[in-house]
Structure formats: C-alpha cells, structure tokens
Chain A
Amino acid sequence: MTDQHSKTKTNGAGGPAMREVRDSVVVRFAGDSGDGMQLAGTQFTMENALAGSDLATFPDYPAEIRAPAGTTYGVSSFQIHFGAVDVKTAGDELDVLVALNPAALKVNLRDLRIGGTVVADSGSFTARNLAKAEYEGSPLEDDTLAPYQVIQLDIGQLTRNAVEHLGLSSRDALRSRNMWALGLLLWMFDRDKQATVDWLRAKFKGVESAADAAVATLSAGHAFGETVEMPTKIPGYTVSRAELKPGLYRTVSGSDALAWGLVSGLKSSGISRMVFASYPITPASPLLHLLARMKELGVVTFQAEDEIAAACAAIGASYAGSLGVTSSSGPGIALKTEAIGLAVATELPLVIVNSQRGGPSTGLPTKTEQGDLFQAVYGRNSDAPVAVIAPATPADCFHVAREAVRLATRYMTPVFILTDAYLASAAEPWLIPDLTTLDDYPVEMRRDPDGFQPYTRDGSTLARPWAVPGTPGLEHRIGGIERDSATGNISYDPDNHHEMTRLRAQKIAGIAADIPEQSVELGPEEGPLAVVGWGSTYGSLFKAVERSRAKGMDVSHIHLRHLSPFPRNLGDLLGRFERVLVPELNAGQLLAMLRSTYLIPAEGLNRVAGRPFRISDIEATIVRLLETERTA
C-alpha cells in the first residue's frame, strides 16, 4: 500500500485465499484518550511481529491525562507501519484509519491517503460528539469521506452484543470497543489473536469476568470480518513475512533499549552499582520507571526533589565510585546545567539522558523535536566541553547507552545521550544481541597511594584517576574552583587556568581517535549531494535517499551518532560532496555546527511540527537540490 508497488491478487470477499497482497501497510488506531488506543496498537504490533513483519510504530497522545472526552485535543493515536519489506519509519501516509469517535476522524483524516480505508464507529457519531469535534453535519453522511473507502460499523453496539451473555453494564461493555476494533483489524490482515488472548488473560488474572469480556469482544471483532454479509463486506489483505536476519527477536521501544543498554554498560564497566537519579517529566519518565524495576541488576533509582538534585546525586554517586546517571527532558536538563559544569570541572563520569520534546519552555511535552543539540554541546557557562551522542532508532538506544557508559568512565566526563519523544515510545523488532559477545571495557579505580595526585592525567586519554572515598592514602579534595593541573589544589593562577581549559577541551577532542570513522549509510562516498542527519530522523532520511536512488538520483545518506566530538574524518567526507543537506527537526542546529566547524555551505531542511519528517518532504528537497544549480 504505502510503500511502492502494491499489487492486487484478487479482489473479492472473504477467506484468506481471496486476500489482496500488500508489501507494507500503515494503520492508525485513533480514539479518545480513554479508549485504549495505545493498548490496541501495542497488541496489534505484537501480533504483526509474531507473524514475521518488519515494523515501526508511532504512539501519539495528548499531554493531558484525561482531556475532556470527545474533544479534538483529547485524541490519542497509535500508528504502526508493518510489512514484508525493510520498514524504517512509521510511514508518511495512512492506509487504514480506525476512528472511534468524530474527533479522532477530524484530527487524523488529513494523514489518510486518497483511496485509503476509514473504519469508523458510527455509534459514536452522535450530535453531541459531532459538536465536540466541531463538525457541522455528520462526515459519515456528507461527502467528507468521498475520497476514501468507508467501513461504518456501530462498534459500540457490536461490543455490547458480544458481551451480552456476561451481564456487564453498558458502560463496562463499552470499555472493550478497542478490543473489538483490534479483533477486526487482526482479521483484515490475517493475523492471529492468540498472543493478545494470552496477554489479556495474564493482565486480568484474578478478575476473570474482565478477561472474559475482553476476549469475547476481541473474538467477536475477529469473527465479524469472516462472517459479515454484503454490503458491509470487509476487505482482507495478506502481508507476507519480512526477510529479517535469522535469530531470536522481540519488539523493543527506545526506552526499553536505553534502560537495558545502561545496565549492559554497567556490567561491561565492571562497576557494581548504577545510581540513576531523575525527576518525573514527559517523555523521560518511562526510563526511570523501567530502571526502578531493575534493582536486582545493581540499579539504585532515586526520584529526587528536582532535576538539580537528580544531577547532583548522580555526580555524588560517581564521586563515590558508582556509575552516576541522570535523565530528563529539555526543561529539566536546563536545571541540571550548573551541576553538569561541576562534573566537567571535577572530571567525574556522568551519563545524562535527554529525551527531547518540543520547546522552548514547556513547549509540546509529548511531541518529538531535536531542539536540544546546542543545549547539550554548548549550553553551559564558560568553556565546558562534554561528549554528545544520539541514537538513530529504538534498538540503537541499546548500543548508544553502552557507548555513553564507556566514554563517561574512560574519559572521566559527562556524556549526553540525545534521544527524543519519538524514540522513547516508538517500537521496532529487535534481534536480541548475544550479551556474551559484547566488548567489555573494565574500569580501573585508582588504589595505589604511591605518587597519587588527583589531576595527573592518563597519557593517552588525558583522563584523571578515579580515586574513590574509602580508599586509604588517596584522601584529597576536589571542587568547582579552578585547580592546579597536577595537585588539584585551588589555583587562581592565570596560566594554569588557560592550561586547564585547554586540557579539558583536548580530552574531549581526543575521543575522536577512539570512535569509528564516519561511514556512509547509503550511496557513494562522494558526489553531488549528501543528506546528513542525526538521531531519530534516521528512518525518514534513509528511506528518502533509498527511494531517490531507486529513481536514479545520485545522493548519499550520512547519519551521525557522535555529535561531540565529530568523527575524525567527517570534514574530509563532507568535503567530497558538492552539496550537503542537513534535515533536522529544529531550526538548524547541526547545520550551524557543520558550517562553523568545516566552513562548508551546508543547507538545512527544517521542520518543527512535533512529528517525525515525512519521507516525501525529504525526497522533494533532494529532487529540488539535484535539479537546481548551486546558487551562491
């Protein structure tokens, strides 16, 4: 459907043999915040994963917990793109939109492709709900939906019918509408429902009546597609298995992968304890919640009184020989700024996770953005360099977290991980790594008092020794006041300060020798155009370049994991392209960094709408750049 060449095998009613074949499909479940759309989407994802599809998901929900029912700003949605092909994004356009109320239709219809399918719960299109969604008349009755295929069903009534025999109240019965819709969609795409049944049984363990109701509704939705008569006939599709590398898979969200990556990094470092200090904030909280359940893996979580305290506690923990990690989103990172400067000055390991969201200020708490790159790289008083890295996909969060732990402990420095709202909740299939094959990077604490000075540096990394309280003979004082480059004693000496500033910068710059050279994701290593990105835009950029290349355009995709310092060959690599396009979900931050670092006339493609890029927008820009002459 969305992705290129879809072909119709048959176009008839009913059974699996008559199903249309699709390479990939984009489905969005949309309804009120209280309608259980995230849950339906998550289960739909699981069934597709188990059926062998490659996939990517995009949950989207309002900032309010219980926004007034039926309003457009209370709409919650879950998008999934699944297919037999290599799926890298949640998809530009929808093939199927499930709308459980008028507001959900109103907000989401613009994303449905012409000719796509709407599944609408007609029972919810009451005068009241239409008014709340600011529809003048019912879109099910006028020509609003003329460009689409419409399946109107009174899902509320069908749900009530399904649980009639269980004697539930009408209100309780209606709670399962999401399960009915899920059942129907599973049938449409020829997916099993067993994993969902198992999951429901486990979730409602002890409350059998609730489990029975949910399972009965799910089954009713599933059976409906099979048995329904004309004219409501439901189309059926086949999406075959993707060619994934052999191995054992699971789905993983960016938050999961980040949590596991931090724990894996902790193990590889040989440090016995991680102190993860944070303060609740959307969309960073899930990481705190996940790690709070990993206590037996050496993780101590601390919900501090504010973000300043969280950063400080993480620093205090690193000072005492644990791995200090702190996490937040933009506004909270702003509060941590002074403490991060302290970690730079005292040269202590610190991992800082920023789950970026729309800003400035409170901005768009649940929406994605890449606006905090400058904040991470430059956002401190004085010259205070740190390392900054960014994951490209949910699964990549695992490896980026491990890399952050490695750099923080090896270089005695704060390391930023720039993830975002999209990566935090988006999910994809993940080939579970064999933990025994991961490289360890054991940390050596200083123990020997002989010749010890707190600021003498390792010849190759320029890191100072990690000397932990409790170690006899190493008693020393550190702090934020400038210190002598060797003894660590307070020093206001002008030349010493100059030298220390230089050393701090050189230490971070030196990391470039310890990270891989920048590679090209797709396309040749030179040519008329490179598309350069970082972070969660990976999928959109890759797909846009892939499609452009398929159309014969000479364009390459380069995606940065390391943003400070840049990979050592990056300047050379970019220099081999005539033009450099830097798409970002901000007003041009990497763009400015590349221009100022390498003095190249890179060009930006910037969009700050709180959502991922559309592949087609990037493609259009590629075409425009390749077809126009360079102007300046």
Chain B
Amino acid sequence: MSHSVLPQLKPKDFASDQEVRWCPGCGDYAILKAIQKTLSELEVPRENSVFISGIGCSSRFPYYMATYGFHTIHGRAPAVATGTKLANPDLDVWVITGDGDGLSIGGNHLVHALRRNIDLNIILFNNEIYGLTKGQVSPTSKRGTLSPTTPRGSVANPISPATMALGVGARFVARSVDINQAHLVEVLKQAHANAGTSFVEIFQNCIVFNDATFADFTDKAVAKENQLLVEDGKPLLFGAERDRGLRLDPATWTLEVVRPGENGVRSEDVLVHDETNRTVATMLAGLEPPEFPMALGVLYRDPAATFDQQVLAQVEPESEGRGLADLLYGGRTWKVGD
C-alpha cells in the first residue's frame, strides 16, 4: 500500500514576504514557482536550504525565497557557495546564476566548481541576453543578435552551457524550459538528489530584451516536435507521435534523425539513452533545431565522490590528535634561565 504523504510545507511557504520585481511575463516567475514546488515536494526544512546568487535579473531570486539567501556579486556565486559548503556540508546549497553571470564574468568559477564536483545545485537561467543591464549580448546570444552593444548584429559564436559543463568534467548535466513546469520540477528533483555539482540549464524567456529566442522549440505549436525528452534506459524518440529517433551514423560518428519503420530503419537502431555516456551526452547537448530536436532532461549523470566530502574527510579524522601547543612546543626549543 502506498501512502500519500502531504508535504509539510506548501510551495507558498517557500515564498518570502518580498514583492517580486521581475517584468510581467518574465520566465523567471515560472522558475520561481517550480523551485518552490520542488522544495515543497522534497519536504526539505526551510532552514537547511540556502540560495546563493550572483548579479542579474535571475540572481534576484534568493530575495523571493523564504529560505536562507545570499545575493552576492557578479559571477562569484559558485565561489561563495563553495565556502559555505566547506563550512557546513549538511546545508542544501543552490546556486542561481544567469548566462552573463555564470558564463561571462563568472565562467572561471563555474568551470572549477564543476570540475571539483562540490555538492551544489547550480541553476543557470539562460535567456541569451543581459537582462538587468538592459539587453546587451551575452556569451550565449546567437550570432547576429541585435543589441545596444551590437547594433549591426553580434559576430561572436555562442557558448553551449551544457556542452561546456560536460567538457570540464561535470558529473550531472540537465536541461529544461521555464514553462515546462512538470518537467522542470522533475529535473530539479533529480539535481537535488545527485551528490556533487548538479548543473541545470533552464531556457528562460526574457520577454523584454530577447523575446521568443527559444520559440523554435518552446512554442506550443512546435514544442512536441522539437523537444527530445531524454530518459535513462529509454530510446531517444521524439515528436508528437514519437515517430522520430536518433541514430549514430557509424560512418561519421555523428547523430542523425531517423524514422523507425521507414527506409529499413529498425526501432532497435534508435539509440537508447545511457546517462553515464559522456560522449553521447556531449553530442546531445550540441543538437539544435531546426535540423535536430533540443535535448532536454538529464543528459548526463555519473556520480563520483564530492569535493566537500573528500576535503572534510582529510580534516576530520585526527581532530582529537595534535593540539596547537604541540605545534608550538614541537619544534627545536631551548630554555633560558633557571
């Protein structure tokens, strides 16, 4: 028999008394709702959750949560959170960052948090633009983006956050969309369950400065066709009818879209998602519409020992051993007088 246990705290119990100040229609609202729902369903105590953010529209997030929160400085939230976790590994530490915050000014810290595998949940709100500073291009902006700093269109190539995370050795990489509420909550729960750095990229619509930049896979009309919701152990099928799938082309070592049952493609030719396969995860992270679907869900998960546990394991064992006095008197000493 299964019991349905009511959550101790409702989503609204995770909302602070502060007025939310994002623009009406901003994707951040949906993410706030999803995270409050996630915490409520996880039944975590409020006092044990800490949200640490950098600077940006997205980074205002902690003020709206009734947990502990620290709105730090631009790009540095992973570094602050690392100190917090080393001080108290029992805390549930969430890092909230944006595409500018996490990939431009704070790129270095993000890279190192990921490679260390410290137990943080890093949530990157990717709106492909600098929202708070009024719409300049960001490191994830598509080529040709028109903005106050690129009036004739941007010419630099964008970073793919998930590909970068995989490249620097992240052990948990997932993606979701602000308005896919149920999917997002599930992904966040998975991120929370993972020990180590969990990296979640959320496609977030900035209605003011970069509206509809993700429309080619988030618009209601095309979402089903262009979103590949990956699940461990399940074939990589997508489309409203789940009639298309991904196959590895052995000649080029690239992924291709196939229709099982057509042109001699068998259903077993379609790749089965293996969360622990970094190579395929990296291929999935690089797919883009219109040629390919956008891969969402847990692209990669292969847990390993966490940085915090390993560091603190070196600290704990001898705690009862040497004292400071042993150090001071321990070297070469000599007596004067008597």
Contact = CB atoms under 8 A, between A and B. Distances in A.
A158 interface: no
Interface in A304-328: 304-306, 308-310, 312-322, 324
Contacts of B112: 304-305, 309
A295 to B, nearest CB: 5
A570 interface: no
A251 B330 CA distance: 12
B62 A472 contact: no
A317 B45 CA distance: 21
Interface centre among B108, B322, B332, B338 (most CB of A within 10 A): B332
B332 A250 contact: yes
Contacts of B335: 246-249
Contacts of A472: 45-47
A264 to B, nearest CB: 6
A433 B325 CA distance: 9
Contacts of A319: 70, 80, 83-84, 87
Given A246-B336, A294-B327, A312 B315 contact: no
B50 interface: yes
Interface stretch (B71-79, B135-143, B228-236): B71-79
A468 B48 CA distance: 10
A616 B338 CA distance: 37
B90 A470 contact: yes
Contacts of A549: none
A315 B48 CA distance: 18
B47 A473 contact: yes
B79 A313 contact: yes
A477 B69 contact: yes
Contacts of B67: 475
A290 to B, nearest CB: 10
B38 interface: no
B317 to A, nearest CB: 8
B86 A302 contact: yes
Interface stretch (A478-486, A518-526, A572-580): A478-486
A304 B336 contact: no
A300 B70 contact: no
A321 B71 contact: no
A250 B80 contact: no
Interface string A146-163: 000000000000000000
A316 B80 contact: yes
B312 interface: yes
Nearest to A195: B332
B88 A313 contact: no
Mostly helix, strand, loop or mixed at chain B's interface?
Answer: mixed
Given A248-B335, A477-B70, A469 B84 contact: yes
Interface centre among B63, B70, B81, B319 (most CB of A within 10 A): B70
Contacts of B66: 475
Contacts of A296: 315, 317-322
A249 B315 contact: no
A433 B328 CA distance: 9
Contacts of A195: 332
Contacts of A248: 329, 333-336
Interface in A503-518: none
Contacts of B202: none
B79 A312 contact: yes
Given A260-B327, A324-B83, A475 B46 contact: yes
Interface stretch (A46-54, A89-97, A100-108): A46-54
B21 to A, nearest CB: 9
Interface in B278-298: none
Contacts of A39: none
Contacts of A313: 79-80, 82-83, 86
A166 interface: no
A310 B86 CA distance: 12
A432 B332 CA distance: 12
B91 interface: yes
B222 interface: no
Nearest to B323: A297
Given A250-B331, A432-B329, A479-B71, A309 B76 contact: yes
Nearest to A481: B71
Nearest to A480: B73
Nearest to B83: A316
Contacts of A341: 73
A94 B232 CA distance: 75
Given A250-B328, A469-B91, 7 more contacts: A260-B327, A273-B315, A300-B86, A305-B79, A305-B111, A477-B70, A480-B71
Interface of B: 16, 18, 45-48, 50, 52, 55, 62-63, 65-73, 76, 79-88, 90-91, 108-109, 111-112, 311-312, 314-315, 317-325, 327-329, 331-338
Question: Would you list the 3 A-B pairs with minimal beta carbon distance, nearest first?
Answer: A246-B337, A479-B71, A316-B83
